[in-house]
Structure 1
């Protein structure tokens, strides 16, 4: 998380300089030493958060515009791009998972002909005790959460290496250092080895995982180190979209109620605001008199709602982006103007 927050500081500087900024000034404004900045810039350019228009000059990249797309599609698309880069770098199938509604869920993955995915011969929801992604998520739960999970999903022996005693399992989970990878050494499937690292979102437990054929087990250590580095751009995307508040602790302390997104303010540049104004059929020109605090505005054409922050000193709204809420049936918020203030 520390590296992701440093990367966020660099992105904020890039947003303040739409025409580009030299590396020396970028280091001064971000508060980072040259040795800290160099690898972050390489990562930001690879992930397209930054571009290099000239030698020693950096500017904001197209990934920032992609993240601003309505309906959450921008975040999903950027995460998929990051997973594909991680797949190619690690030489393994890569998975993004989270613990939601009391279940292990694989939300996105990247595989290919040379990086085949795990064959889900047992539902991942019932195999958290054996899979790397499941165990990684369980490490982020408290004792009551773990006990509840194994009470609903009794640990079954899937291979001779599977841990089926919940006390032994919990002891193994407690022995994992915060932020350390978790491994599945042929515990879920005899032909597969896996690893996973935590992605604490500030809302729910998350993990980034990879899988390799057991015949490639000798590559697991190096691939896992690559995976840990690729957790940084995943966390950065979540920070930029407000899925993780900028001051969130590294480990989620309390999960949000199921199905209810938790909006978090996030700064936005004038360039991003101009970009998003083009996405609204009705121009955003001023705040509503009824909206004295943070409020949602609906865009019925996109069946989405957007969170605005209060700006006490001006009548211009400031969009807190890209916090979109898409569980809005088309037409349910229709008005003659197309915009609705949902509440302060």
Structure 2
């Protein structure tokens, strides 16, 4: 019985994952069945149950399904219960408004980062939210910050032994090069991302620490290359570090961090 329940939960989760990953809007049951590999009748039963619970909703004028209000409510509750989100939301929003660029806060989740906060300044509007999206650790400024506490063995344990995925010609793919980049970042207090995840994008990120001085999150400023190069990066970096420190204090950090 326990195995059947576990299997049912897994199937429901796969349906929700397909709906959440859709880039074309609501999906028909047949599309969901094809994407999950489940039978048509099984998919229809799951969708019926999920619709009753509010986890999915059926589009008004078509037999298609989308993520329901219950999922949105759970996501909101999860964010509000997260101490990093609570402490960083207001400072990150103020920073984005002040500098006019995108400001994001991310945390480690498995071997990737996930966004907890996303705010847009007047110069960096987006038509979608980054909250909940994942990014690779080695190719983003936020991700690199989340690796700052790890030594070479820790990096390999988390990221694996194989060469790291390449996204652009600037992506760091070798473990030794990543370790060297992190060593420099520890000295300057911020991590950089120069067209490593996407061409035409530049970002800087600073670590957020808890009461034990462990890196538990990171905050970044990012924008189009042309916009970022028009700004004084030293001033932006100072502003970012100050906000990261403010959030860290909110999480309980009260002592200086020894230089390694």
Q: Which has the higher helix share?
A: 2
* Structure 1 residues 157 and 74: CA distance shift in structure 2, 3 A: closer
Counterpart pick for 1:79 among 79, 84, 88: 88
User: SS at 2:192's partner residue?
Assistant: strand
Show the counterpart of 1:160: 169
Alignment-derived partner of residue 216 in structure 1 = 227
Instruction: Label 1:209 to 1:220 Cα distance change in 2 as closer, same or farther (>3 A).
Output: farther
Whole-angstrom CA distance in 2 between matches of 1:167 and 1:77: 36
Structure 1 residues 167 and 192, CA gap change in structure 2 (3 angstroms): same
Displacement after TM superposition at 1:116 (Å) = 3.3
Answer yes or no: is 1:206 the counterpart of 2:222: no
Counterpart in the other structure of 1:196: 205
Question: Aligned partners of 1:119, 1:214: CA distance in 2, in Å?
Answer: 20
Structure 2 residue 120 is the aligned partner of structure 1 residue 111: yes
Please give the residue correspondences for 1:140-159 in structure 2 after superposition, counting only pairs within 5 Å. Answer: 140-151=149-160, 154-159=163-168
1:130 aligned to which of 129, 136, 139: 139
SS of 1:205 mapped into structure 2 = strand
Counterpart Cα distance in 2 of 1:209 and 1:220? 15
Distance 1:88 1:119, change over 3 A: closer
Unaligned 5+ segments in structure 1 are 1-70, 252-344
Specify the SS of the correspondent of 1:175.
Answer: helix
Task: Tell me: CA distance 1:197–1:145, structure 2 relative to 1, closer, same or farther (3 Å).
Answer: same
Q: CA RMSD in A?
A: 3.0
- Alignment of 1:89 onto 2:98: yes
Structure 1 Cα separation of the partners of residues 82 and 108 of structure 2 = 21
Higher Rg of the two aligned structures: 1
Q: Deviations over 1:312-342 (max 9, x none)?
A: xxxxxxxxxxxxxxxxxxxxxxxxxxxxxxx
CA distance in 1: counterparts of 2:171 and 2:232, whole angstroms: 19
Q: Secondary structure at the match of 2:209?
A: coil
The residue number in structure 1 matching 2:246 is: 233
Cα distance in 2, alignment partners of residues 103 and 95 from structure 1: 15
- Report Cα offsets for 1:82-124 as digits up to 9, x if no partner: 111111223211111222444322222212553236997xx74
Q: CA deviation at 1:165?
A: 1.5
Secondary structure, in 3 states, of the residue corresponding to 2:189? coil
Query: Partners in 2 of 1:220 and 1:86 — Cα distance?
Result: 15
SS in 2 for 1:141: coil
Alpha-carbon shift at residue 187 of structure 1 (Å): 0.9
- Paired residues, number: 172
TM-score, reference length from structure 2: 0.57
TM-score by length of 1: 0.44
Deviation string for 1:173-216 (max 9, x for gaps)?
A: 22323461111111111021000011122355321111111111
Unpaired segments of 5 or more residues in structure 2?
Answer: 1-79
